[in-house]
């Protein structure tokens, strides 16, 4: 965070009030504000919108002024309408809809309030008990949330490769969004989607809606185990947002097992947070892992590259994406068919 030109007191005031911003966004989703404006079909007056949302006109008017200032709505002549940002990311019908991840973040507020206790005792303290139905609901919400995030990054990751064909293994695939981007870009590739058996039914729900069903297989495995019980080797192995869920030793085991599953010319694509890219977000994500996982942590690109070298793999430098994550490519051979 560049604080060089800011008043120190102002930096602290802005940090203290940053949850006001989150609450403003969460409330818009709770009100179903963006869908309501969209369904109206044209610019809507504050009075009509207040009527549709059952809100006080005066209070809503002040709140809409904030959303306009935040760039989430546009305004003209006492009316409001969606703008490019809200239309692209905040309407359920949009392919890049982000509502599920926003709600997932909202539900994490309580986890972050455990930070004080976690610092005292050195490990995660929130172990909520769920019955089977709640657990299934939570898995579904989690995969929808991860799908929203992955869709922001998947095309950019697929665009890192050129003229790719062959077999892809997507390790900890979640919704499969990463792989779907590769299937869309490279007509001669097939994908094996790997996740724990409790998640794969959720994965299937996303993937059956895609036009690539006949090029996809599923495999359940726990990647912390020694053997992932796979019969093939692969031309591309994707590790997207998975290393940060685990400790150094576990991450090293995952990298090593993935390497053994690579074809002679195969490549590893590691997509994740890295300390060198968007450091504040990477540090926040690291604390998020401290609060919510047994031993997850965000690594530096330098550490990951050193582990790849220790496995006798060539690796790219850190490739920053336009968002808060980045990519490292690795291979037994010098990396050629990429655009980097």
Ligand X SMILES: C[S@@+](CC[C@H](N)C(=O)[O-])C[C@H]1O[C@@H](n2cnc3c(N)ncnc32)[C@H](O)[C@@H]1O
- Which residues of this protein are in contact with ligand X, per CB under 6 A? 146, 150, 172-174, 177-178, 195-196, 199, 221-224, 240-242, 245
Task: Give 266 or 296: the residue with its C-beta nearer to ligand X.
Answer: 296
Closest distance to ligand X from the beta carbon of 150 (Å): 3
- Starting at the edge strand found earlier in the chain, the sheet holding 44-45 runs 44-45, 79-82, 73-76
Q: Which is nearer to ligand X, 213 or 222 (CB)?
A: 222
DSSP letter at 333 equals S
CB nearer ligand X, residue 82 or residue 150: 150
Report how far residue 70's alpha carbon sits from residue 160's, in angstroms, rounded to the nearest whole number.
Answer: 33
CB of 182 to ligand X, least distance (A): 12
Nearer to ligand X, 221 or 311 (CB): 221
> Of 311, 314, 316, nearest to 332 (Cα)?
314
Say which DSSP state 66 is in: H
What is the DSSP secondary-structure string of 37-103? HHHH-S-EEHHHHHHHHT--HHHHHHHHHHHHHTTSEEEETTEEEE-HHHHHHSSTTSTT--HHHHH
Integer angstrom CA distances of residue 293 from 30, 220, 252, 326, 340:
28, 21, 18, 22, 33
Helices 177-185 and 200-207: crossing angle, nearest 10°? 40
Nearest approach in angstroms of CB 75 to ligand X is 35
- Cβ proximity to ligand X: between 80 and 154 the closer is 154
Q: Are 210 and 185 in contact (CB under 8 A)?
A: no
Q: How far is the CB of 52 from ligand X (least distance, A)?
A: 35
CA 57 to CA 217: how far, in whole Å?
A: 53
Shortest distance in whole angstroms from residue 145 CB to ligand X: 9
Closer by beta carbon to ligand X, 28 or else 244: 244
Q: How far is the CB of 153 from ligand X (least distance, A)?
A: 8
Hey, what's the torsion of the CAs at 131, 134, 140, 144, to 10 degrees?
A: -130
By C-beta, is 25 or 221 nearer to ligand X? 221
- Tokens 């980045």 -> residue: 326
């Amino acid at each position: 965070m560049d604080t060089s030109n800011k008043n120190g007191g102002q930096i602290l005031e802005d940090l203290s009030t940053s949850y006001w911003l989150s609450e403003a966004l969460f409330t818009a989703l709770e009100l179903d504000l963006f869908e309501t404006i969209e369904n109206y079909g044209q610019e809507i007056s504050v009075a009509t919108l207040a009527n549709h949302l059952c809100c006080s006109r005066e209070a809503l008017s002040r709140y809409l002024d904030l959303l306009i200032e935040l760039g989430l709505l546009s305004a003209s002549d006492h009316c409001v309408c969606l703008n490019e940002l809200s239309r692209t990311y905040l309407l359920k019908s949009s392919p890049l809809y982000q509502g599920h991840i926003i709600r997932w973040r909202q539900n994490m507020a309580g986890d972050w309030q455990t930070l004080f206790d976690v610092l005292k005792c050195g490990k995660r303290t929130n172990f909520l008990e769920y019955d089977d139905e709640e657990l299934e609901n939570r898995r579904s919400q989690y995969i929808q949330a991860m799908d929203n995030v992955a869709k922001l990054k998947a095309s950019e990751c697929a665009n890192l490769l050129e003229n790719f064909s062959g077999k892809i293994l997507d390790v900890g695939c979640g919704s499969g969004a990463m792989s779907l981007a590769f299937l869309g870009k490279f007509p001669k590739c097939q994908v094996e989607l790997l996740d724990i058996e409790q998640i794969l039914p959720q994965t299937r729900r996303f993937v059956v809606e895609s036009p690539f069903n006949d090029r996809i297989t599923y495999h359940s495995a726990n990647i912390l185990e020694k053997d992932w019980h796979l019969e093939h080797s692969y031309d591309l192995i994707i590790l997207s947002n998975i290393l940060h869920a685990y400790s150094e030793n576990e991450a090293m085991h995952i990298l090593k097992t993935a390497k053994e599953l690579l074809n002679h010319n195969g490549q590893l694509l590691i997509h994740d947070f890295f300390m060198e890219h968007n450091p504040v977000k990477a540090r926040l994500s690291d604390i998020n892992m401290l609060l919510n996982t047994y031993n997850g942590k965000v690594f530096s690109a330098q550490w990951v590259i050193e582990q790849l070298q220790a496995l006798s793999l060539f690796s790219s430098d850190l490739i920053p994406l336009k968002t808060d994550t980045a990519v490292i490519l690795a291979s037994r051979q010098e990396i050629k068919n990429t655009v980097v």
